[in-house]
Amino acid sequence: MKKRSLTLWVLLLLMAFVFMSGGCGGSSDDDTSKFAGGSGTSADPWQISTAAQLGEVRNHLDGHFALTSDIDLASFENWTPMGAFVPISDAQEDEETPVMEQTFSGVFDGGGHTISNITINAPEGVAVGLFGCVAGTGSVSNLTVTNANVQGQMLVAGVIGYGRGSSVENVKLIGNNSIKGAFLVGGIVGGGFCDIIGCEAQANVTLSGDNAQGGGVLAGGMETSDIADCSATGTVTALGTGNIGIGGLVACAMESERVLRCKFDVTITVGENNVLIGGLLGYAGIADGAGNSATLISDCSGNAVINAPATAERIGGIVGGGFFVQEYRQYRPEPGAIRVTNCQTGGEINGGSIAGSVLGYAYNNSSAEGCTSDMKVNGAAAAQIGAKLGDITLDALR
């Protein structure tokens, strides 16, 4: 998600606030006594049945774990995430690549159990969640998280702050969940490069500040990530000015091949000059000069109420459009390609401009086909595509 690929990442001014892990994996003869059983291998994972055992994961970040009972974290006033995001250097080309020894690179199988009552108060923290950073071959699956109250700065979520090459499958965030941050904020994943499959999120997500990017009920800013069979219920609020990418399900699916069979029931409220806003996705698209590929958004459905001032633009019932803002035109001179098929939307868009019931703005490499909608735009029936290149040129967009 470097600037040249145009997912807006902050320069590493916040590195001093990154959560540092308590250990780097490995085991000793005494490790067995720290868990309910197991030896940390794929065939014999460490078993976790208490909050103290869950905290011990920080000392064995490359291990295999199985949750064997529900765990309540209410006694922890400020939970320390398991696994941290520390870039391998301060060079721009390394700003998204973590020191693997600091990340959670193991396997965590929730076994259908629940971790409840997570509180994290880290207003200047990076990679904030139950897990801070899950990377490499790391995975989190079959887990329910409920009643998460999480605040951070960048890469903020109830479950995984930053996912890098990892997988997230069959994870639920349910109950009363409040997730707040300034950049890349989501219910289950804050942002990253990881597939999200079969997940469900219920949350109220707040994207704070001005000129921020990436707020969604399920996830914030995702890149090269497939998203399938997921759902989102809740709210996204981004009242600052100049924010980019606000989505009911996911803020963005940048350079992603597919978003399939997802559902949403959300209310989105945005501030002045916010752009690329959608009931499902704020933006998506694949940059391909030959025009041979596009992000496929198919068989998705839901209802959204989107409240926006007149200065907000590119608002869609499914997706706002392909990524494009004038500030980054030197990196991406035209929007990424999107293909929306067999989707359905309902609800209403109140305010804003360049708005459509399916796709807010369609560049000449993008399309919406076979979709249905009864969404109202500013109280009236609306076209599926709000505007095309011939209607509004790129020069006229913010």
238 forms beta bridges with 270
Comparing CA positions, the residue from 26, 83, 79, 29 lying closest to residue 52 is 79
Q: Give the number of other Cβ atoms within 10 Å of residue 380's Cβ.
A: 7
pTM: predicted TM-score of the whole model, two decimal places: 0.91
- 197: Cβ–Cβ under 8 A, 6 or more apart, which residues? 167, 168, 169, 170, 226, 227, 228, 229, 230
Distance from chain centroid for Cα 119: 19
| Strand-pair category, 301-307 with 200-207 | unpaired
Residue 271, number of CB atoms within 10 A of its CB: 19
pLDDT confidence of residue 82: 97
- Where the chain has pLDDT below 70, the residues are 1-32, 288-292
| DSSP state for residue 393 in the 8-state scheme | -
Beta-bridge mates of residue 126: 154
What pLDDT was estimated at residue 24?
42
pLDDT at residue number 25: 45
Domains and CATH numbers, the chain: 105-396 (2.160.20)
Task: Annotate 155-193 with DSSP letters as a single string.
Answer: EEESSEEEEEEEEEEEEEEESS-EEEESEEEESSEEEEE
Please tell me what DSSP assigns to residue 40. S
Give the whole-angstrom CA distance, residue 218 versus residue 6.
21
- SS3 category, 101: helix
> Can you give the pLDDT at residue 131?
98
130 contact partners, CB below 8 Å, separation of at least 6: 79, 81, 82, 115, 118, 145, 148, 158, 159, 160
- The amino acid at residue 22 is G
Which 8-state DSSP code applies to residue 15?
G
Alpha carbon distance 227, 201 (integer Å): 13
Q: Which residue has the tokens 């752009």?
A: 275
Q: Is 70 left (phi over 0), alpha (psi -120 to 50) or beta?
A: beta
* The residue count for the chain: 398
Condensed to tens digits (0 to 9), the pLDDT of residues 131-160 reads 999 999 999 999 999 999 999 999 999 999
